[in-house]
């Protein structure tokens, strides 16, 4: 508790001091926090009342900078439970697009019914990616000497693989912060088997060529980068990078991960003829970015059910995921502030999964998905707290459909672009009939959808929770979509892609930049820290802003 200066105590009546002390005690344990910072984002959590009328407004700036920038207000998360997990009432959200290795000041204001209740300030810093120790000892290795070198490795060592074939291995030594142990590959060095880092700390694995997998169970501060890993056709379940026990702060960046699942109809779905996880992790603070992931059951995923532990503050950024026979990105069992941002999905049974989100928010921001065979967003198992902003989807069947049979709770969607058309049934799963929206399970009381664009060559009908509509006017007048836009495939994009009539076919990533005359241009809602530095009169719908934008995250501090 903050102490009261003695001089001030002498001048203030005792009853006033007691009142202040009681008020301060009432707020004990409810200070805002920023757990598990990443390189570009900060998570914010404040356990405050979430009843109607309560809100938390946010501003931020680099420490010492005179200019404040507004951020999205925190999302009010009602206390709840699901699948053996429970969470308290809280307000939670993220700061986006920050500078790595930078200290920030955050101002959080708690308002109730238009009256300011209190202001709190929070100091938090983004992380920097780990780098090899510039003064580290170089230790060249061969297939014959690697085991001995690994057994005597010291913090800061840089182990370089010479040409040759290496069996899998499991190091027993740790680096330290600022002095990781680096294992560096060679174009003519191939590792066949498994690299197992079990409960290890501070390693960098870079420039490797592998046939097998990397397993990081229980390990913290591990970097895997700029490597090519092909899944074994016979071992390790077809996985390439996995963490099956709680890890912290993994950085998986710039890798090519090639699986063994063939893109064909028999592979589609959880029970299809598919195998392998490109990346799967559990725990907080991970950054999975700029990877190419091709030919797996799931491209990038979090763990599920009892295997899921502390899945919050996880960044899945700018990856390209192709031929995902079940989920391209599986952000299941996210507690709060998982952020799937800027990913490109081509050919997926399901593009983005939240099955379920545990209160959230679980952010899906500026992702694109082309050729989705079933649903673009799997908001299943009573998912609560999913936030969809500026995504572009072109898929077979219903443009924006989900069919969980249980409520979809507290869904928030702004500035998305959904295009559908004639559908079908693929390995026993329907893609829908071509409705622009089919969200029969949407919980209307908690949903907030507006400023989204929809189109389908099968007409403009749909189901918005219990509400059916047959044209744009009815969608606007009967639902929260007061500013919805009607779009078409041909009129929306500068280079219109072909409609994915047959999802079983493979495709190259299309150009999904907008046409200048598209109804999606300047049709979005301004969102602080998301799109306020847009080009034109208002933000555009979808993942890609037409024309130059200084910073789509609006963090261009002078």
The pLDDT, as a whole number, for residue 10 is: 35
Contact 45, 90 (CB under 8 A): yes
pLDDT at 48: 96
pLDDT at 534: 87
pLDDT of residue 556: 62
**Contacting residues for 256 by C-beta, under 8 A, at least 6 apart:** 227, 228, 229, 291, 292
* Average pLDDT for runs of 10 along the chain of length 558: 32 38 44 98 97 97 97 98 98 98 98 97 98 98 98 98 98 98 97 98 98 98 98 98 98 98 98 98 98 98 98 98 98 98 98 98 98 98 98 98 98 98 98 98 98 98 98 98 98 97 97 97 97 90 83 62
Which pLDDT score, from 0 to 100, does residue 185 have? 98
pLDDT at 16: 35
Residues 485, 466: Cα–Cα separation, whole Å: 21
CA geometry: angle at 295 spanning 280 and 40, to 5°?
A: 45
pLDDT score for 481: 98
* 212, 170 contact by CB (below 8 A): no
Phi, psi torsion values for 319, nearest 5 degrees: -85, 155
Which string of DSSP letters, residue by residue, matches 438-467? EETTB-TTT-EEES-EEEETT-S-EEETTE
pLDDT at 552: 62
Half-sphere exposure for 339 (CA within 13 Å, toward CB): 29
Q: Are 383 and 357 in contact (CB under 8 A)?
A: yes
Per-residue CA distances from 414 to 266, 380, 434, 485 (Å): 35, 20, 21, 12
Nearest to 357 by CA among 311, 389, 317: 311
The confidence score (pLDDT) of residue 27 equals 42
Determine the Cα–Cα distance for residues 392 and 149; give it in Å rounded to an integer: 49
486: left (phi over 0), alpha (psi -120 to 50) or beta: beta
pLDDT for the residue 533: 82
The residue length of the chain stands at 558
């Amino acid at each position: 508790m903050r102490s009261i200066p003695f001089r001030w105590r002498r001048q203030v009546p005792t009853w006033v001091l007691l009142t202040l002390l009681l008020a301060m005690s009432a707020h004990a344990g409810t200070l805002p926090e920023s757990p598990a910072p990443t390189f570009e984002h900060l998570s914010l959590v404040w356990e405050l009342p979430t009843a109607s009328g309560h809100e938390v407004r946010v501003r931020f700036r680099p420490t010492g900078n005179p200019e404040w920038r507004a951020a999205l207000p925190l999302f009010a998360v009602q206390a709840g439970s699901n699948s053996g997990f429970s969470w308290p009432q809280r307000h939670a959200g993220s700061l986006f697009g920050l500078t790595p290795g930078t200290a920030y000041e955050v101002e959080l204001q708690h308002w109730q019914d238009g009256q300011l209740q209190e202001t709190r300030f929070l100091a938090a810093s983004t992380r920097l990616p780990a780098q090899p120790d510039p003064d580290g000892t170089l230790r060249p290795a061969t297939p014959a000497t690697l085991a001995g070198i690994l057994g005597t490795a010291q913090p800061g060592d840089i182990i370089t693989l010479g040409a040759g074939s290496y069996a899998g291995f499991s190091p027993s030594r740790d680096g330290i912060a600022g002095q990781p142990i680096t294992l560096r590959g060679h174009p003519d060095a191939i590792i066949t088997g498994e690299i197992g880092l079990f409960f290890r700390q501070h390693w960098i694995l870079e420039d490797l060529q592998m046939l097998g997998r990397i397993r990081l169970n229980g390990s913290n501060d591990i970097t895997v980068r700029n490597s090519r890993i092909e899944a074994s056709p016979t071992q390790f379940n077809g996985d390439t990078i996995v963490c099956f026990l709680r890890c912290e702060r993994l950085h998986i960046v710039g890798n090519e991960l090639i699986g063994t699942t063939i893109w064909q109809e028999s592979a589609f779905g959880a029970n299809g003829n598919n195998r392998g996880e490109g990346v799967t992790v559990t725990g907080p603070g991970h950054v999975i970015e700029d990877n190419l992931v091709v030919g797996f059951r799931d491209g990038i995923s979090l763990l599920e059910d009892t295997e899921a532990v502390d899945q919050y503050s996880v960044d899945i950024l700018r990856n390209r995921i192709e031929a995902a026979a079940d989920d391209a990105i599986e952000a299941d069992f996210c507690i709060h502030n998982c952020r799937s941002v800027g990913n490109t999905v081509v050919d997926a049974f399901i593009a983005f999964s939240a099955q379920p989100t545990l209160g959230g928010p679980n952010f899906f921001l500026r992702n694109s998905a082309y050729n989705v065979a079933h649903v673009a967003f799997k908001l299943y198992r009573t998912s609560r707290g999913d936030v969809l902003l500026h995504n572009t989807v072109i898929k077979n069947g219903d443009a924006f459909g989900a069919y969980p049979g249980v409520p979809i709770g507290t869904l928030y969607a702004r500035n998305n672009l959904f295009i559908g058309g004639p559908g079908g049934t693929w390995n026993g799963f329907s893609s829908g009939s071509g409705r622009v929206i089919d969200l029969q399970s949407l919980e209307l009381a908690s949903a907030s959808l507006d400023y989204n664009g929809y189109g389908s060559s099968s007409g403009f009908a749909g189901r918005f929770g219990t509400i059916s509509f047959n044209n744009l006017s009815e969608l606007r007048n009967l639902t929260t979509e007061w500013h919805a836009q009607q779009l078409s495939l041909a009129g929306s994009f500068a280079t219109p892609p072909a409609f994915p009539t047959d999802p079983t076919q493979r495709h190259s990533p299309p150009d999904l930049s907008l046409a200048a005359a598209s109804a999606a241009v300047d049709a979005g809602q301004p969102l602080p820290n998301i799109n306020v530095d847009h080009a034109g009169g208002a933000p555009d719908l979808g993942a890609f802003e037409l024309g130059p934008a200084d910073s789509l995250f609006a963090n261009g501090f002078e």
